[in-house]
Structure 1
Amino acid sequence: MRFVSDHRRDPGRRGDVPPVRHSAKRVGFDGVKVHGANGYLMDLSLQPVPNHCAEKYGGSFESRFRFLHEIVKAGVTGRSHICHLTVSSVAWQQGQRRKFMHAFERQSQNRLGYLAMLDEFGFVFSTESRTLIVFDANKAFKGNVIVNNSYTCDTDKGVVRSGAVDFVGFDRLFMSNTALAEHFQND
Protein backbone atom coordinates (compact mmCIF):
# COMPACT_ATOMS: atom_id res chain seq x y z
CA MET A 1 0.00 0.00 0.00
CA ARG A 2 1.38 3.39 -0.96
CA PHE A 3 0.49 6.55 0.92
CA VAL A 4 0.53 9.49 -1.47
CA SER A 5 -0.76 12.71 0.01
CA ASP A 6 -2.21 15.77 -1.63
CA HIS A 7 -0.99 18.51 0.73
CA ARG A 8 -3.80 20.81 -0.40
CA ARG A 9 -6.21 18.62 1.60
CA ASP A 10 -4.08 18.41 4.73
CA PRO A 11 -4.84 21.88 6.16
CA GLY A 12 -8.56 21.08 6.06
CA ARG A 13 -8.06 17.73 7.77
CA ARG A 14 -5.93 19.28 10.49
CA GLY A 15 -8.73 21.80 10.90
CA ASP A 16 -10.99 18.93 12.01
CA VAL A 17 -8.87 18.24 15.10
CA PRO A 18 -9.96 21.19 17.31
CA PRO A 19 -13.71 20.49 16.77
CA VAL A 20 -13.12 16.81 17.59
CA ARG A 21 -11.17 17.82 20.70
CA HIS A 22 -13.97 20.16 21.83
CA SER A 23 -16.65 17.52 21.15
CA ALA A 24 -14.70 15.01 23.23
CA LYS A 25 -14.48 17.48 26.13
CA ARG A 26 -18.17 18.34 25.85
CA VAL A 27 -19.23 14.70 26.32
CA GLY A 28 -16.86 14.11 29.24
CA PHE A 29 -13.65 12.75 27.73
CA ASP A 30 -10.35 14.23 28.85
CA GLY A 31 -9.12 14.76 25.30
CA VAL A 32 -8.28 12.96 22.08
CA LYS A 33 -6.04 10.07 21.13
CA VAL A 34 -3.93 10.18 17.98
CA HIS A 35 -3.46 6.63 16.74
CA GLY A 36 -0.13 6.43 14.93
CA ALA A 37 0.14 2.65 14.63
CA ASN A 38 -1.29 -0.39 12.82
CA GLY A 39 -1.25 1.09 9.34
CA TYR A 40 -3.47 4.06 10.10
CA LEU A 41 -2.75 7.39 8.42
CA MET A 42 -0.25 8.66 11.01
CA ASP A 43 1.65 5.37 10.87
CA LEU A 44 1.77 5.38 7.07
CA SER A 45 2.99 8.96 7.01
CA LEU A 46 5.93 8.07 9.32
CA GLN A 47 7.07 5.01 7.41
CA PRO A 48 9.59 5.38 4.57
CA VAL A 49 8.32 2.46 2.48
CA PRO A 50 4.62 3.36 2.05
CA ASN A 51 5.10 7.15 2.19
CA HIS A 52 5.96 8.30 -1.32
CA CYS A 53 4.84 11.89 -0.84
CA ALA A 54 6.82 14.36 -2.89
CA GLU A 55 5.81 17.44 -0.92
CA LYS A 56 6.33 18.68 2.64
CA TYR A 57 5.08 15.46 4.31
CA GLY A 58 7.34 12.99 2.48
CA GLY A 59 10.99 12.22 1.94
CA SER A 60 13.14 12.76 5.02
CA PHE A 61 12.06 11.54 8.45
CA GLU A 62 11.70 15.16 9.58
CA SER A 63 9.23 15.79 6.75
CA ARG A 64 7.32 12.55 7.44
CA PHE A 65 7.21 13.43 11.15
CA ARG A 66 5.81 16.92 10.38
CA PHE A 67 2.30 15.57 9.66
CA LEU A 68 2.06 13.74 13.00
CA HIS A 69 3.56 16.70 14.86
CA GLU A 70 1.02 19.13 13.37
CA ILE A 71 -1.90 16.83 14.23
CA VAL A 72 -0.69 16.38 17.82
CA LYS A 73 -0.13 20.13 18.25
CA ALA A 74 -3.70 20.74 17.03
CA GLY A 75 -4.95 18.23 19.63
CA VAL A 76 -3.07 19.86 22.50
CA THR A 77 -3.90 23.49 23.19
CA GLY A 78 -4.27 24.85 26.68
CA ARG A 79 -3.89 23.04 29.98
CA SER A 80 -7.36 21.50 29.94
CA HIS A 81 -6.85 19.60 26.69
CA ILE A 82 -5.03 16.29 26.73
CA CYS A 83 -3.79 14.41 23.71
CA HIS A 84 -2.52 10.83 23.76
CA LEU A 85 -0.31 9.32 21.08
CA THR A 86 -0.07 5.65 20.16
CA VAL A 87 2.81 4.35 18.04
CA SER A 88 4.01 0.91 17.05
CA SER A 89 7.36 -0.65 17.87
CA VAL A 90 7.46 -2.10 14.34
CA ALA A 91 8.96 1.18 13.12
CA TRP A 92 11.96 0.52 15.35
CA GLN A 93 12.68 -2.67 13.44
CA GLN A 94 12.90 -0.69 10.20
CA GLY A 95 16.13 1.02 11.25
CA GLN A 96 14.50 4.18 12.52
CA ARG A 97 15.28 3.88 16.23
CA ARG A 98 17.28 7.13 16.55
CA LYS A 99 14.74 9.01 14.46
CA PHE A 100 11.85 7.91 16.67
CA MET A 101 13.86 8.73 19.79
CA HIS A 102 14.21 12.28 18.45
CA ALA A 103 10.49 12.35 17.59
CA PHE A 104 9.57 11.28 21.14
CA GLU A 105 11.84 13.93 22.61
CA ARG A 106 10.07 16.55 20.49
CA GLN A 107 6.62 15.22 21.45
CA SER A 108 7.56 15.63 25.13
CA GLN A 109 7.24 19.38 24.61
CA ASN A 110 3.55 19.00 23.64
CA ARG A 111 2.31 18.02 27.14
CA LEU A 112 0.88 14.71 25.95
CA GLY A 113 -1.14 12.79 28.51
CA TYR A 114 0.89 9.69 27.69
CA LEU A 115 2.73 7.88 24.94
CA ALA A 116 1.40 4.40 24.22
CA MET A 117 3.69 1.87 22.56
CA LEU A 118 2.11 -1.09 20.83
CA ASP A 119 4.75 -3.70 21.48
CA GLU A 120 4.43 -5.90 18.42
CA PHE A 121 6.16 -8.83 20.09
CA GLY A 122 4.69 -12.00 18.69
CA PHE A 123 3.48 -10.30 15.51
CA VAL A 124 6.77 -9.57 13.74
CA PHE A 125 10.28 -10.97 13.87
CA SER A 126 12.77 -8.75 15.64
CA THR A 127 16.34 -9.09 16.79
CA GLU A 128 15.71 -6.20 19.20
CA SER A 129 14.92 -6.79 22.86
CA ARG A 130 11.29 -5.80 23.43
CA THR A 131 12.22 -4.25 26.80
CA LEU A 132 15.03 -2.23 25.22
CA ILE A 133 12.67 -0.81 22.59
CA VAL A 134 10.17 0.48 25.14
CA PHE A 135 12.94 1.49 27.55
CA ASP A 136 14.41 3.73 24.85
CA ALA A 137 10.97 5.24 24.23
CA ASN A 138 10.54 5.87 27.97
CA LYS A 139 13.98 7.46 28.16
CA ALA A 140 13.30 9.77 25.19
CA PHE A 141 9.71 10.73 26.07
CA LYS A 142 9.43 12.86 29.20
CA GLY A 143 6.07 11.66 30.40
CA ASN A 144 4.17 8.45 31.07
CA VAL A 145 4.78 5.56 28.68
CA ILE A 146 2.26 2.74 28.46
CA VAL A 147 3.04 -0.49 26.60
CA ASN A 148 0.41 -2.88 25.31
CA ASN A 149 0.11 -6.22 23.43
CA SER A 150 0.98 -9.78 24.38
CA TYR A 151 1.70 -9.13 28.06
CA THR A 152 0.89 -11.50 30.89
CA CYS A 153 0.78 -10.89 34.63
CA ASP A 154 4.42 -11.99 34.91
CA THR A 155 5.79 -10.02 31.95
CA ASP A 156 3.78 -7.00 33.10
CA LYS A 157 5.49 -7.01 36.49
CA GLY A 158 8.91 -7.50 34.95
CA VAL A 159 8.70 -4.67 32.44
CA VAL A 160 7.35 -2.22 35.05
CA ARG A 161 9.93 -3.23 37.70
CA SER A 162 12.72 -2.83 35.15
CA GLY A 163 11.77 0.80 34.69
CA ALA A 164 11.24 0.26 30.97
CA VAL A 165 7.68 1.62 31.14
CA ASP A 166 5.34 3.30 33.58
CA PHE A 167 2.25 1.18 32.89
CA VAL A 168 1.13 -1.89 30.93
CA GLY A 169 -2.24 -2.02 29.19
CA PHE A 170 -4.29 -5.18 28.72
CA ASP A 171 -6.96 -4.06 26.23
CA ARG A 172 -7.66 -7.30 24.35
CA LEU A 173 -7.08 -9.56 27.33
CA PHE A 174 -9.35 -7.42 29.52
CA MET A 175 -12.14 -7.24 26.93
CA SER A 176 -12.40 -11.02 26.92
CA ASN A 177 -12.07 -11.30 30.70
CA THR A 178 -13.45 -8.40 32.72
CA ALA A 179 -12.33 -10.09 35.95
CA LEU A 180 -8.71 -9.90 34.79
CA ALA A 181 -7.58 -7.64 37.65
CA GLU A 182 -8.93 -10.09 40.23
CA HIS A 183 -7.24 -12.99 38.43
CA PHE A 184 -3.94 -11.13 38.50
CA GLN A 185 -4.31 -10.30 42.21
CA ASN A 186 -5.08 -13.92 43.11
CA ASP A 187 -2.35 -15.37 40.91
Structure 2
Amino acid sequence: MSQKKLVTPFTSENISLSNRVVMAPMNRRKAIEGVPPASMITYYQQRAGAGLLITDNIAISSNGGAYMNTPGIYTEAQKQGWKKVVDGVHAKGGKIFAQLVQAGRVGHPAIQHNEPLIAPSAIQVNETIRTPDNTYQPMTMPIPLNTAEIPVWVAAFRQAAANAMEAGFDGVEIHAAHGFLIDQFINPHSNHRTDEYGGSIENRTRFLLEVMKEVVAEVGKNKVGIRLSPFREIYDLKPYPEELSTHEYILEALQALDILYIHFSNAVTNEQPSIPTDFLQNARQRFKNIIIIAGGFTVESAEEILQRQYVNLVAFGKLYISNPDLVERIKNDIPLADWDETTFYHGGDKGYIDYPAIALDNCVPQ
Protein backbone atom coordinates (compact mmCIF):
# COMPACT_ATOMS: atom_id res chain seq x y z
CA MET A 1 0.00 0.00 0.00
CA SER A 2 1.26 3.49 -0.81
CA GLN A 3 2.15 5.94 1.93
CA LYS A 4 -0.37 8.78 2.10
CA LYS A 5 0.79 12.28 2.94
CA LEU A 6 -2.19 12.53 5.30
CA VAL A 7 -0.63 10.07 7.71
CA THR A 8 2.93 11.36 7.59
CA PRO A 9 4.23 13.50 10.46
CA PHE A 10 3.97 17.27 10.26
CA THR A 11 6.64 19.43 11.81
CA SER A 12 6.91 23.20 11.79
CA GLU A 13 8.96 25.60 13.86
CA ASN A 14 6.21 25.83 16.47
CA ILE A 15 4.38 22.49 16.54
CA SER A 16 5.02 18.84 15.75
CA LEU A 17 2.13 16.51 14.92
CA SER A 18 2.12 12.75 14.43
CA ASN A 19 0.12 13.12 11.21
CA ARG A 20 -1.73 15.71 9.10
CA VAL A 21 -5.23 14.60 10.07
CA VAL A 22 -7.20 16.99 12.28
CA MET A 23 -10.42 16.24 14.10
CA ALA A 24 -12.64 19.17 13.18
CA PRO A 25 -14.48 21.14 15.85
CA MET A 26 -18.08 20.03 16.19
CA ASN A 27 -20.77 20.63 18.77
CA ARG A 28 -22.17 17.30 19.95
CA ARG A 29 -24.24 19.10 22.65
CA LYS A 30 -23.48 16.78 25.57
CA ALA A 31 -22.51 19.25 28.34
CA ILE A 32 -25.22 19.86 30.95
CA GLU A 33 -24.69 23.34 32.42
CA GLY A 34 -21.70 23.57 30.14
CA VAL A 35 -19.67 20.96 32.08
CA PRO A 36 -17.99 18.23 30.00
CA PRO A 37 -19.36 14.83 31.12
CA ALA A 38 -17.29 11.70 31.68
CA SER A 39 -18.32 10.41 28.26
CA MET A 40 -16.55 13.38 26.68
CA ILE A 41 -13.26 12.17 28.14
CA THR A 42 -13.81 8.82 26.41
CA TYR A 43 -14.93 10.50 23.17
CA TYR A 44 -11.76 12.54 22.78
CA GLN A 45 -9.47 9.78 24.04
CA GLN A 46 -10.87 7.42 21.40
CA ARG A 47 -9.88 9.97 18.72
CA ALA A 48 -6.50 10.98 20.15
CA GLY A 49 -4.74 9.39 17.16
CA ALA A 50 -5.46 12.55 15.17
CA GLY A 51 -2.48 14.80 14.65
CA LEU A 52 -4.56 17.49 16.32
CA LEU A 53 -7.95 17.47 18.04
CA ILE A 54 -10.03 20.65 18.06
CA THR A 55 -12.83 20.66 20.60
CA ASP A 56 -16.54 21.25 20.35
CA ASN A 57 -17.47 24.95 20.34
CA ILE A 58 -16.71 26.15 23.89
CA ALA A 59 -18.74 29.13 25.07
CA ILE A 60 -16.78 31.97 26.63
CA SER A 61 -19.80 33.25 28.57
CA SER A 62 -23.20 32.12 29.84
CA ASN A 63 -24.89 33.60 26.75
CA GLY A 64 -22.12 32.49 24.42
CA GLY A 65 -23.27 29.06 23.24
CA ALA A 66 -25.73 28.95 20.35
CA TYR A 67 -27.13 25.50 21.09
CA MET A 68 -28.45 23.51 24.03
CA ASN A 69 -25.80 21.77 26.14
CA THR A 70 -22.88 23.60 24.57
CA PRO A 71 -19.81 23.23 26.78
CA GLY A 72 -18.36 26.34 28.41
CA ILE A 73 -15.15 27.45 30.05
CA TYR A 74 -16.35 30.39 32.15
CA THR A 75 -16.89 28.54 35.45
CA GLU A 76 -14.50 26.57 37.62
CA ALA A 77 -16.56 23.38 37.22
CA GLN A 78 -16.36 23.69 33.44
CA LYS A 79 -12.63 24.31 33.55
CA GLN A 80 -12.07 21.29 35.76
CA GLY A 81 -14.23 19.18 33.44
CA TRP A 82 -12.07 20.19 30.50
CA LYS A 83 -8.92 19.45 32.49
CA LYS A 84 -10.04 15.81 32.76
CA VAL A 85 -10.64 15.71 29.00
CA VAL A 86 -7.25 17.22 28.23
CA ASP A 87 -5.45 14.94 30.66
CA GLY A 88 -7.16 11.96 29.02
CA VAL A 89 -6.06 13.04 25.54
CA HIS A 90 -2.50 13.70 26.69
CA ALA A 91 -2.39 10.27 28.33
CA LYS A 92 -3.02 8.83 24.86
CA GLY A 93 -0.28 10.95 23.31
CA GLY A 94 -2.68 13.38 21.59
CA LYS A 95 -2.71 17.16 21.21
CA ILE A 96 -5.84 19.23 21.69
CA PHE A 97 -6.85 22.87 21.10
CA ALA A 98 -9.92 24.55 22.61
CA GLN A 99 -12.24 26.31 20.17
CA LEU A 100 -13.64 29.43 21.85
CA VAL A 101 -16.92 31.01 20.74
CA GLN A 102 -19.41 33.78 21.43
CA ALA A 103 -22.46 33.03 19.30
CA GLY A 104 -23.83 36.57 19.32
CA ARG A 105 -27.25 36.77 17.66
CA VAL A 106 -27.42 32.99 17.02
CA GLY A 107 -29.40 31.23 19.72
CA HIS A 108 -32.33 31.92 22.04
CA PRO A 109 -32.60 33.28 25.61
CA ALA A 110 -34.18 29.98 26.73
CA ILE A 111 -30.90 28.28 25.81
CA GLN A 112 -28.66 31.05 27.08
CA HIS A 113 -29.74 31.30 30.73
CA ASN A 114 -32.52 33.79 29.92
CA GLU A 115 -29.95 36.34 28.86
CA PRO A 116 -30.50 38.39 25.71
CA LEU A 117 -28.62 37.73 22.50
CA ILE A 118 -25.98 40.30 21.59
CA ALA A 119 -24.80 41.46 18.18
CA PRO A 120 -23.07 44.31 16.35
CA SER A 121 -26.50 45.57 15.24
CA ALA A 122 -30.16 44.93 15.99
CA ILE A 123 -30.68 42.51 13.10
CA GLN A 124 -32.47 39.24 13.82
CA VAL A 125 -31.59 35.86 12.27
CA ASN A 126 -34.62 34.67 10.34
CA GLU A 127 -34.35 31.04 11.51
CA THR A 128 -35.58 28.80 14.31
CA ILE A 129 -33.59 26.87 16.91
CA ARG A 130 -34.39 23.98 19.28
CA THR A 131 -35.05 25.10 22.86
CA PRO A 132 -35.19 23.17 26.16
CA ASP A 133 -38.91 22.40 25.80
CA ASN A 134 -37.97 20.47 22.64
CA THR A 135 -39.73 22.91 20.33
CA TYR A 136 -38.20 25.05 17.62
CA GLN A 137 -38.51 28.76 18.33
CA PRO A 138 -37.57 31.80 16.23
CA MET A 139 -34.27 33.34 17.20
CA THR A 140 -34.91 36.59 19.04
CA MET A 141 -33.89 40.15 18.24
CA PRO A 142 -30.35 40.75 19.58
CA ILE A 143 -29.31 43.75 21.64
CA PRO A 144 -26.67 45.76 19.77
CA LEU A 145 -23.45 46.28 21.69
CA ASN A 146 -22.57 49.86 22.41
CA THR A 147 -19.00 50.94 21.74
CA ALA A 148 -18.07 50.95 25.43
CA GLU A 149 -19.15 47.31 25.84
CA ILE A 150 -16.94 45.88 23.12
CA PRO A 151 -13.74 45.79 25.22
CA VAL A 152 -15.66 43.67 27.74
CA TRP A 153 -16.13 40.98 25.09
CA VAL A 154 -12.54 41.24 23.94
CA ALA A 155 -11.54 40.66 27.56
CA ALA A 156 -13.95 37.71 27.79
CA PHE A 157 -12.15 35.96 24.93
CA ARG A 158 -8.81 36.63 26.62
CA GLN A 159 -10.06 35.22 29.94
CA ALA A 160 -11.46 32.14 28.22
CA ALA A 161 -8.09 31.58 26.57
CA ALA A 162 -6.39 31.89 29.96
CA ASN A 163 -8.87 29.39 31.43
CA ALA A 164 -8.18 26.97 28.58
CA MET A 165 -4.46 27.08 29.18
CA GLU A 166 -5.02 26.56 32.91
CA ALA A 167 -7.03 23.46 31.97
CA GLY A 168 -3.95 22.19 30.13
CA PHE A 169 -4.93 22.69 26.48
CA ASP A 170 -2.10 22.81 23.95
CA GLY A 171 -3.58 25.97 22.44
CA VAL A 172 -6.78 27.78 21.49
CA GLU A 173 -8.73 28.39 18.30
CA ILE A 174 -10.85 31.54 18.09
CA HIS A 175 -14.15 30.87 16.31
CA ALA A 176 -14.55 33.74 13.85
CA ALA A 177 -16.70 31.76 11.41
CA HIS A 178 -20.21 30.38 10.85
CA GLY A 179 -22.16 33.56 11.49
CA PHE A 180 -21.23 33.82 15.18
CA LEU A 181 -20.34 37.10 16.92
CA ILE A 182 -16.96 37.83 15.34
CA ASP A 183 -18.28 36.87 11.89
CA GLN A 184 -21.27 39.15 12.51
CA PHE A 185 -18.89 42.08 12.91
CA ILE A 186 -17.03 41.15 9.71
CA ASN A 187 -20.11 40.89 7.46
CA PRO A 188 -21.90 44.14 6.48
CA HIS A 189 -25.24 42.30 6.27
CA SER A 190 -25.16 41.86 10.07
CA ASN A 191 -23.07 44.95 10.90
CA HIS A 192 -24.76 48.30 10.27
CA ARG A 193 -22.67 50.18 12.81
CA THR A 194 -21.54 53.75 12.27
CA ASP A 195 -18.78 53.81 14.91
CA GLU A 196 -15.21 52.55 14.55
CA TYR A 197 -16.48 48.94 14.40
CA GLY A 198 -18.61 49.35 11.27
CA GLY A 199 -18.45 50.49 7.67
CA SER A 200 -14.96 50.07 6.23
CA ILE A 201 -13.00 46.84 6.04
CA GLU A 202 -10.65 48.12 8.71
CA ASN A 203 -13.55 48.89 11.03
CA ARG A 204 -15.53 45.69 10.45
CA THR A 205 -12.46 43.57 11.21
CA ARG A 206 -11.41 45.63 14.22
CA PHE A 207 -13.19 43.42 16.77
CA LEU A 208 -11.65 40.26 15.33
CA LEU A 209 -8.14 41.70 15.44
CA GLU A 210 -8.56 43.15 18.93
CA VAL A 211 -9.61 39.69 20.15
CA MET A 212 -6.66 38.05 18.42
CA LYS A 213 -4.14 40.54 19.79
CA GLU A 214 -5.39 40.05 23.34
CA VAL A 215 -5.43 36.27 23.09
CA VAL A 216 -1.91 36.27 21.63
CA ALA A 217 -0.78 38.50 24.49
CA GLU A 218 -2.31 36.04 26.96
CA VAL A 219 -1.15 32.66 25.67
CA GLY A 220 1.52 33.37 23.03
CA LYS A 221 1.22 33.51 19.24
CA ASN A 222 2.46 29.93 18.82
CA LYS A 223 -0.58 28.59 20.67
CA VAL A 224 -3.27 30.52 18.79
CA GLY A 225 -5.31 29.60 15.74
CA ILE A 226 -8.47 31.02 14.18
CA ARG A 227 -11.41 29.58 12.26
CA LEU A 228 -12.76 31.52 9.28
CA SER A 229 -15.51 30.72 6.76
CA PRO A 230 -15.11 33.09 3.81
CA PHE A 231 -17.92 33.07 1.22
CA ARG A 232 -20.07 30.76 3.34
CA GLU A 233 -23.77 31.60 3.46
CA ILE A 234 -25.04 30.80 6.95
CA TYR A 235 -27.48 32.36 9.42
CA ASP A 236 -28.61 35.02 6.92
CA LEU A 237 -25.05 36.06 6.07
CA LYS A 238 -24.92 36.58 2.31
CA PRO A 239 -22.10 37.38 -0.10
CA TYR A 240 -21.07 41.03 -0.34
CA PRO A 241 -18.94 42.99 -2.84
CA GLU A 242 -15.93 43.48 -0.56
CA GLU A 243 -15.80 39.90 0.72
CA LEU A 244 -12.59 38.92 -1.06
CA SER A 245 -10.78 42.12 -0.14
CA THR A 246 -12.04 41.84 3.44
CA HIS A 247 -10.53 38.38 3.82
CA GLU A 248 -7.31 39.41 2.10
CA TYR A 249 -7.02 42.18 4.69
CA ILE A 250 -7.69 39.67 7.49
CA LEU A 251 -5.08 37.24 6.15
CA GLU A 252 -2.40 39.91 6.02
CA ALA A 253 -3.26 41.14 9.51
CA LEU A 254 -3.09 37.59 10.89
CA GLN A 255 0.26 37.09 9.19
CA ALA A 256 1.51 40.24 10.93
CA LEU A 257 0.39 38.73 14.24
CA ASP A 258 2.28 35.55 13.25
CA ILE A 259 -0.32 33.22 14.77
CA LEU A 260 0.11 29.45 14.53
CA TYR A 261 -2.66 28.65 12.06
CA ILE A 262 -5.73 29.62 10.09
CA HIS A 263 -8.48 27.02 9.85
CA PHE A 264 -10.85 27.49 6.90
CA SER A 265 -14.36 26.03 7.07
CA ASN A 266 -15.55 24.98 3.63
CA ALA A 267 -19.08 23.93 2.63
CA VAL A 268 -19.95 21.88 -0.45
CA THR A 269 -23.22 22.73 -2.20
CA ASN A 270 -24.19 21.05 -5.47
CA GLU A 271 -20.63 19.70 -5.60
CA GLN A 272 -19.22 23.23 -5.46
CA PRO A 273 -16.98 24.29 -2.54
CA SER A 274 -17.68 27.59 -0.82
CA ILE A 275 -13.92 28.22 -0.76
CA PRO A 276 -12.54 28.07 -4.31
CA THR A 277 -9.07 26.83 -5.15
CA ASP A 278 -7.89 30.24 -6.30
CA PHE A 279 -8.73 31.69 -2.89
CA LEU A 280 -6.62 29.01 -1.19
CA GLN A 281 -3.73 29.82 -3.52
CA ASN A 282 -4.21 33.50 -2.66
CA ALA A 283 -4.32 32.69 1.06
CA ARG A 284 -1.16 30.61 0.79
CA GLN A 285 0.69 33.65 -0.58
CA ARG A 286 -0.58 35.98 2.14
CA PHE A 287 -0.33 33.68 5.17
CA LYS A 288 2.90 31.72 5.58
CA ASN A 289 2.13 29.68 8.67
CA ILE A 290 -0.11 26.61 8.97
CA ILE A 291 -3.34 26.44 6.97
CA ILE A 292 -6.01 23.86 7.84
CA ILE A 293 -9.13 23.22 5.81
CA ALA A 294 -12.29 21.32 6.79
CA GLY A 295 -15.59 20.56 5.15
CA GLY A 296 -16.75 17.84 2.82
CA PHE A 297 -13.43 16.07 2.32
CA THR A 298 -13.00 12.41 1.58
CA VAL A 299 -9.69 10.70 2.24
CA GLU A 300 -8.95 10.98 -1.49
CA SER A 301 -9.80 14.66 -1.87
CA ALA A 302 -7.91 15.47 1.34
CA GLU A 303 -4.84 13.70 -0.01
CA GLU A 304 -5.13 15.60 -3.28
CA ILE A 305 -5.30 19.03 -1.66
CA LEU A 306 -2.31 18.19 0.54
CA GLN A 307 -0.31 17.04 -2.47
CA ARG A 308 -1.07 20.36 -4.18
CA GLN A 309 0.37 22.14 -1.13
CA TYR A 310 -2.53 24.56 -0.79
CA VAL A 311 -2.91 23.56 2.86
CA ASN A 312 -0.84 21.82 5.52
CA LEU A 313 -3.51 19.85 7.36
CA VAL A 314 -7.03 18.59 6.64
CA ALA A 315 -9.79 18.36 9.26
CA PHE A 316 -12.58 15.78 9.27
CA GLY A 317 -15.86 16.02 11.14
CA LYS A 318 -18.47 13.40 10.28
CA LEU A 319 -15.83 10.82 9.39
CA TYR A 320 -14.37 11.25 12.88
CA ILE A 321 -17.74 10.72 14.49
CA SER A 322 -18.05 7.19 13.09
CA ASN A 323 -14.35 6.32 12.83
CA PRO A 324 -12.58 6.99 16.13
CA ASP A 325 -9.52 5.24 14.68
CA LEU A 326 -9.64 7.26 11.46
CA VAL A 327 -5.88 7.65 11.12
CA GLU A 328 -5.24 3.91 11.44
CA ARG A 329 -7.96 3.17 8.90
CA ILE A 330 -6.43 5.62 6.44
CA LYS A 331 -2.95 4.29 7.08
CA ASN A 332 -4.00 0.68 6.49
CA ASP A 333 -6.58 1.22 3.71
CA ILE A 334 -9.37 -0.11 5.91
CA PRO A 335 -12.94 0.76 4.85
CA LEU A 336 -14.55 3.61 6.75
CA ALA A 337 -17.69 3.17 8.84
CA ASP A 338 -20.84 5.15 8.07
CA TRP A 339 -22.28 7.59 10.60
CA ASP A 340 -25.79 7.76 12.02
CA GLU A 341 -26.93 11.36 11.61
CA THR A 342 -29.87 10.89 13.99
CA THR A 343 -27.41 10.62 16.89
CA PHE A 344 -25.27 13.64 16.08
CA TYR A 345 -26.95 15.77 18.77
CA HIS A 346 -29.15 13.26 20.59
CA GLY A 347 -29.00 9.80 22.11
CA GLY A 348 -26.61 9.96 25.04
CA ASP A 349 -23.68 7.62 24.49
CA LYS A 350 -25.30 5.97 21.47
CA GLY A 351 -23.60 7.30 18.37
CA TYR A 352 -21.11 9.11 20.59
CA ILE A 353 -18.65 6.66 22.15
CA ASP A 354 -19.92 3.32 20.82
CA TYR A 355 -18.43 3.33 17.30
CA PRO A 356 -15.87 0.49 17.37
CA ALA A 357 -12.26 0.74 16.38
CA ILE A 358 -10.97 -1.97 14.08
CA ALA A 359 -8.49 -4.42 15.54
CA LEU A 360 -5.74 -4.30 12.93
CA ASP A 361 -4.67 -7.92 13.39
CA ASN A 362 -8.23 -9.14 12.66
CA CYS A 363 -8.90 -7.34 9.41
CA VAL A 364 -7.74 -7.46 5.83
CA PRO A 365 -6.94 -4.14 4.13
CA GLN A 366 -9.13 -3.46 1.09
TM class, shorter-chain normalised? 0.7 to 0.9
Structure 1 partner of 2:170: 30
Q: 34, 45, 48: which one pairs with 2:185?
A: 45
Is 1:175 aligned with 2:175?
no
Structure 1 partner of 2:256: 109
- Number of positions where the alignment pairs a residue of Structure 1 with one of Structure 2: 186
Distance 1:114 1:179, change over 3 A: same
1:143 positional shift: 0.7
1:49 positional shift: 1.2
1:162 positional shift: 0.8
Amino acid across the alignment from 1:173: L
Distance 1:148 1:103, change over 3 A: same
| 2-structure distance, mates of 1:85, 1:38 | 12
Residues 15-94 of structure 1 aligned to structure 2 (within 5 Å): 15-77=155-217, 80=220, 82-90=223-231, 94=240
Q: Secondary structure at the match of 1:182?
A: helix
Which runs of 4 or more aligned residues in structure 1 lie more than 3 Å from their structure 2 counterparts after TM superposition?
Answer: 78-81, 91-95, 123-126
CA deviation profile, 1:14-61 (whole Å, cap 9, x unmatched): 122332222111111133221011111011111111111121111111
Structure 1 partner of 2:305: 159
Q: Which runs of 5+ in 2 are unaligned?
A: 1-104, 106-118, 122-144, 234-238, 334-366
TM-score if structure 2 supplies the norm length?
0.47
Q: Which runs of 5+ in 1 are unaligned?
A: none
Amino acid across the alignment from 2:264: M
After alignment, is 174-183 or 54-63 more displaced?
Answer: 174-183
| Higher normalized helix content (fraction of residues) | 1
Distance 1:87 1:124, change over 3 A: farther
After alignment, is 87-96 or 68-77 more displaced?
Answer: 87-96
Is 1:145 aligned with 2:285?
no
| 1-structure distance, mates of 2:315, 2:284 | 15
| 1-structure distance, mates of 2:157, 2:326 | 34
After alignment, is 158-167 or 133-142 more displaced?
Answer: 133-142
| 1-structure distance, mates of 2:189, 2:300 | 36
TM-score if structure 1 supplies the norm length?
0.88
